[in-house]
Amino acid sequence: MSYTRYQEITQKAADLNYAAAVLGWDQETYMPPKGYAARGRQLATLATQAHALLTSGEYGKLLQELSSVPDLTEVQAANVRMRLEDYEKAARLPDEFVAELTQATSTALHAWSNARKQGDYSIYALELRNMIGLKKKQAALYGYIGHPYDALLDDYEKGMTTSLLDGVFERLRRELPPLLAAIAGGKQVEDSFFAQHFPRETQWGFSLDVLKAIGYDFDAGRQDYSEHPFTTSFAATDVRVTTRVHENDLASLLWSSIHEGGHALYEQGLPDTQYGMPLGAPASLSIHESQSRLWENCVGRGLPFWKHFYPTLQARFPEQLGGISLDAFYAGMNKVQPSLIRTEADELTYHFHVMIRYEIEKGLMDDSIAIEDLPEIWREKYRKYLGIMPPDDVQGILQDVHWSHGSFGYFPTYSLGSFYAAQFWEEANTQLPGLREQVETGIFKPLLHWLRVGIHQFGRRHRSEELCTRLTGRGLDISAFMRYATEKYAGIYHVKI
């Protein structure tokens, strides 16, 4: 009986949060410009109402009660356990602190946006200092055993710690540079053909075909245009993707559409019977990202995929691509070159961007980095790891919105997502005989089914590491990523590594 009541409140809160997601989707796709102010307050009210439900005394009591009820089913027990975890963690932050953080976020976002517009970091410095102060306080309120940063990492990736990530990035720092050096020794590939005129509608139609082919269910979703691509879910039965289109850059739409499609396949594969419950939610940010990157990179930037799709793409753009061979197209989409902007980086140097942010966040949390040295440290790390220096802070420390949102500990999930993706992909190729040939002929069902059974169906039941172990027989190990990268890029750059 009390489980029913627990489920009722949980799903009501989900209704409100999903409603907010619809309003958010509309804001980024169709909302007229004057709608902003009212939309802001509507979103705030939805968030407050959902929050009130999930932090009420009744809810806390229900969770406590249920956690010692012996005759819950396994599914019920898991649903209770995970919510109790969330509840207890949230309860450690006093209301005034949450309000202060919300206020600081709003101020920081404003300052960040102004600083970018005026190309002046100093406009942002004070707000960032304030935010960092609050994040330290938050870590203290949460409590931690090892490093204060651990308390924040756990917000984005349950159970993630600095010692685990130190190990991951340590290997990366050791193993990636030799690969990059080898690539730099090869002949740089050509990718200028992406920058021709590609009519919008034709691009759009092709991206819809690709989404359909990989298994995205258009009866339970749709693709719309937005400035910044994103995936949003209002239930497993209504999962939408958005993407951008640039008429002078074919690459912009293509992989952002496949990337979001990967996120969406995950959300569409979550168990609909667990609507609004933990077991109906994704496992973690890193697992979510593993799904988008597996489809975007391992599949969508792979030669087999384009063996199937390139002829149709060429047929749609005969003038632009008629003279570009499949090999040249494949090489161009995988060009490796150190660059300043994280979101535009290739799939190898990308991880140094993440690592730089990780090192900085960690250093800020344990005071080994002084806030006033930040822009300089940023430049220095880019010089050290990527061999280039941002000419200004807009292309440097001001490029990401995350810190203004109060998101400290988020960046690592991007890299973890790639590493999990490579490990899953390697395993899929072992477990699914003929996968390569299937992809070459545009058959993606077995792969999607494998992901559904191995990952999607579980919702939040298992943490990232457990999920990975169940599926691949071991926890995260970047060896798979390094093997994937080495084999792929040795081929593209015709170098021996």
Q: Enumerate binding residues for a second copy (CB under 8 A).
A: 11-12, 15-16, 18-20, 22-23, 26, 30-35, 37-39, 41-42, 44-46, 49, 217-222, 224, 234-235, 237-238, 275
**Half-sphere exposure (CA, 13 Å, Cβ side) for 330?**
20
The sheet carrying 239-243 orders its strands as 223-225, 239-243, 231-233
Tell me how many degrees the CA angle 386-387-393 measures, rounded to the nearest 5. Answer: 80
Query: How many residues are present in the chain?
Result: 497
| Closer to a second copy by Cβ: residue 38 or 453 | 38
Query: Catalytic one among 157, 260, 296, 347?
Result: 260
| Closer to a second copy by Cβ: residue 42 or 312 | 42
Residues 267 and 231 sit within 8 Å (Cβ to Cβ): yes
| Closer to a second copy by Cβ: residue 222 or 335 | 222
Residue 63 buriedness (CB in 10 A; 0-12 / 13-18 / 19+): buried
Place of tokens 């396994």: 74
Eight-class DSSP state of 285: H
| Closer to a second copy by Cβ: residue 35 or 442 | 35
Cα end-to-end distance, the chain, whole Å: 62
Active site residue 260: yes
Tell me how far, at minimum, the Cβ of 8 lies from a second copy, in Å: 10
- Cα–Cα distances (Å) from 80 to 47, 48, 64, in that order, read 22, 22, 9
| Closer to a second copy by Cβ: residue 19 or 371 | 19
Tell me how far, at minimum, the Cβ of 218 lies from a second copy, in Å: 7
Q: How many CB atoms lie within 10 A of CB 231?
A: 23
Q: Which of 364, 408, 399 is nearest to 124 (CA)?
A: 399
| Closer to a second copy by Cβ: residue 96 or 219 | 219
Residues 275 and 235 sit within 8 Å (Cβ to Cβ): yes
- Determine if residue 495 is left, alpha or beta; phi over 0 gives left, psi from -120 to 50 gives alpha, anything else beta: beta
Amino acid at 413: T
Eight-class DSSP state of 246: B
* DSSP per position, 429-469: HHHSTTHHHHHHTT--HHHHHHHHHHTGGGTTSS-HHHHHH
- Cα–Cα distances (Å) from 16 to 45, 49, 89, 270, in that order, read 9, 7, 21, 19
Per-residue exposure over 417-436, b if at least 16 CB sit within 10 Å of its own CB, e if not: bbbbbbbbbbbbbeeeeebe
Place of tokens 């009210």: 45
Distance CA 448, CA 339 (A): 33
Residues marked active site are found at 260
